[in-house]
Chains A and B, each alone.
Chain A
Amino acid sequence: MNNLKKNRYKDQAFKALGVLFTFFGILILAILIYNILRVGFTRINWDFLTGLPSRKPEQAGIYTAIIGTLDLMLLTIIFAIPIGVGAGIYLEEYSKKSRLSSLLEINISNLAGVPSIIYGLLGLGIFVRYFNFGGSILSGSLTLSLLILPIIIVATREAIKAVPPSLKEASFALGASKWQTIRSVVLPSSFGGITTGIILSLSRAIGETAPLIVVGAMAYVPFVPHSLFDTFSVLPMQIFNWTTRPQQGFAVAASAAIIILLLITFVMNGIAVYFRNKWQKKLQ
Chain B
Amino acid sequence: MKKLVIMMSLALVIGACGNKKENENRETAALIGSISIDGSGTVFPVSEAVAEEFLKVNSQVKVTVGESGTGGGFKKFGTGVTDISAASRDIKDKESELCKENGIDYVRLTIALDGISVVVNKENTWAKTMTVEELKKLWEPNSTVKKWSDIRKEWPKEEIHLYGPNTSHGTYDFFTEVIMGESGASRTDYNAVSDYNVAVQGIEKDTYALGYFGLSYYEENKEKLGVVGIDSGKGAVLPSIETVASNEYAPLSRSLYIFVNKKSAQRPEVKSFIDFYLNNAPQLSKEVGYVPMPQSGYEEQKATFSKVSVK
B253 is an interface residue with CB less than 8 A from chain A = no
Other-chain residue from A55, A71, A218, A225 in contact with B49 (beta carbon distance below 8 A) = A55
Produce 1/0 per residue, B227-258, CB < 8 A to A.
Answer: 00000000000000000000000000000000
Q: B41–A246 contact, CB under 8 A?
A: no
Contacts of B30 in A (CB 8 A): none
Contacts of A55 in B (CB 8 A): 45, 48-49, 52, 284, 287-288
A32 is an interface residue with CB less than 8 A from chain B = no
Produce 1/0 per residue, B58-72, CB < 8 A to A.
Answer: 000011111110000
Q: A218–B4 contact, CB under 8 A?
A: no
Contacts of A269 in B (CB 8 A): none
Instruction: Label chain B's interface by main secondary structure.
Output: helix
Other-chain residue from B18, B66, B195 in contact with A218 (beta carbon distance below 8 A) = B66
Q: A226–B18 contact, CB under 8 A?
A: yes
Residues facing B in A94-146 (CB within 8 A) are 134-135
**Minimum distance in angstroms from A50 CB to a CB of chain B:** 16
Contacts of A247 in B (CB 8 A): 220, 289
Q: A220–B62 contact, CB under 8 A?
A: no
Q: A78 with B4: in contact, given A220-B47, A246-B217 (CB under 8 Å)?
A: yes
The interface size of chain B toward A, counting residues with CB under 8 Å, comes to 45
Q: A227–B15 contact, CB under 8 A?
A: yes
A225 to B41, CA, bound (A): 23
Which residue on chain B has the smallest CB distance to residue A223?
A: B62
B142 is an interface residue with CB less than 8 A from chain A = no
Instruction: Label chain A's interface by main secondary structure.
Output: loop
Q: B217–A222 contact, CB under 8 A?
A: no
Q: B49–A213 contact, CB under 8 A?
A: no
Other-chain residue from A216, A222, A227, A243 in contact with B19 (beta carbon distance below 8 A) = A227
A52 to B47, CA, bound (A): 15
Q: Which of B6-14, B89-97, B120-128, B267-275 contacts its partner?
A: B6-14
Q: B44–A231 contact, CB under 8 A?
A: no
Q: A244 with B12: in contact, given A222-B52, A223-B62, A231-B64 (CB under 8 Å)?
A: no
A219 to B51, CA, bound (A): 12
A186 to B4, CA, bound (A): 25
Other-chain residue from A225, A228, A241 in contact with B67 (beta carbon distance below 8 A) = A241
Other-chain residue from B51, B220, B288 in contact with A222 (beta carbon distance below 8 A) = B51
Residues facing B in A225-284 (CB within 8 A) are 225-228, 230-231, 241, 243-248, 251
Q: A228 with B196: in contact, given A55-B49, A55-B287, A78-B4 (CB under 8 Å)?
A: no
Q: A246 with B219: in contact, given A54-B52, A55-B287, A220-B51 (CB under 8 Å)?
A: yes
**Minimum distance in angstroms from A109 CB to a CB of chain B:** 28
A77 to B8, CA, bound (A): 12
Q: A245–B64 contact, CB under 8 A?
A: no
Q: A227–B67 contact, CB under 8 A?
A: no
Q: B4–A219 contact, CB under 8 A?
A: no
Q: A228–B52 contact, CB under 8 A?
A: no
A246 to B114, CA, bound (A): 14
A209 to B16, CA, bound (A): 28
Other-chain residue from A74, A217, A220 in contact with B8 (beta carbon distance below 8 A) = A74
A53 is an interface residue with CB less than 8 A from chain B = yes
Q: A221–B64 contact, CB under 8 A?
A: yes
A116 to B295, CA, bound (A): 46
Q: A74–B196 contact, CB under 8 A?
A: no
Q: A246 with B197: in contact, given A213-B68, A222-B52, A230-B15 (CB under 8 Å)?
A: yes
Contacts of A251 in B (CB 8 A): 197
A181 to B287, CA, bound (A): 67
Produce 1/0 per residue, B17-45, CB < 8 A to A.
Answer: 01100000000000000101010010011
A246 to B55, CA, bound (A): 24
Q: B196–A218 contact, CB under 8 A?
A: no
A244 to B169, CA, bound (A): 13
Other-chain residue from A54, A135, A213, A220 in contact with B44 (beta carbon distance below 8 A) = A220
Contacts of B18 in A (CB 8 A): 226-227
**Minimum distance in angstroms from A224 CB to a CB of chain B:** 10
Other-chain residue from A78, A213, A228, A246 in contact with B15 (beta carbon distance below 8 A) = A228
A220 to B51, CA, bound (A): 9
Contacts of A246 in B (CB 8 A): 196-197, 214, 216-217, 219-221, 289
Which residue on chain A has the smallest CB distance to residue B50?
A: A55
Other-chain residue from A52, A77, A135 in contact with B81 (beta carbon distance below 8 A) = A135
A185 to B245, CA, bound (A): 75
A227 to B48, CA, bound (A): 23
Q: A216–B4 contact, CB under 8 A?
A: no
Q: A78-B8, A231-B62 are in contact. List 6 more A-B contacts (CB 8 A).
A: A74-B4, A75-B8, A227-B19, A244-B194, A244-B196, A246-B219
Q: List 7 A-B contacts (CB under 8 A).
A: A52-B52, A71-B11, A77-B4, A218-B38, A219-B65, A245-B197, A246-B216
List the 8 closest A-B pairs by CB distance, nearest first: A227-B15, A220-B65, A55-B49, A246-B220, A226-B15, A218-B66, A218-B64, A244-B195
Chain A residues within 8 Å of B, Cβ to Cβ: 52-55, 71, 74-75, 77-78, 134-135, 213, 216-223, 225-228, 230-231, 241, 243-248, 251
